[in-house]
Amino acid sequence: MSANASIILEKAEDVLAIKESLIQFDKETKKPFVEVMVGEQKFERKDVILGISDGMNVEVKEGVSKDDKIKVWNQVKETFSPGGRGK
């Protein structure tokens, strides 16, 4: 007989959360930051204070708002393949 159990150590609801992959860390201070769009192809560094993480997304306690456009790193774009499936 066996069983699986999940233990919730921390929980946050109704918070601003972003993908962990968007977080960068300062080389000297090791503090987290993101880059926010301030104009056409212009970005500004914003230091952030992080909360709890589920391994994929992380809570942002301070530094950005829900309306900020955060720079996405290594975004994979689909490529068009003429003569692909369906014909």
Q: Is residue 49 part of a domain?
A: yes
Instruction: Give pTM, 2 decimals.
Output: 0.72
* Domain assignment of residue 33, given as a range: 17-62
Burial (CB count within 10 angstroms: exposed 0-12, middle 13-18, buried 19+), residue 42: exposed
The arithmetic mean of pLDDT across residues 20-44, rounded, is 95
- Quick check: is 7 in a domain? no
Q: Is the dihedral of CA 13, 20, 35, 77 positive or negative?
A: negative
Is 78 a domain residue? no
Residue 87 lies in a domain: no
Residue 69 lies inside a defined structural domain of this protein: no
Confidence of residue 8 (pLDDT cuts 50, 70, 90): confident
- Tokens for 73? 């790193």
Please report which confidence band the pLDDT of residue 12 belongs to, taking 50, 70 and 90 as the band edges.
confident
Is residue 39 included in any domain, yes or no?
Answer: yes
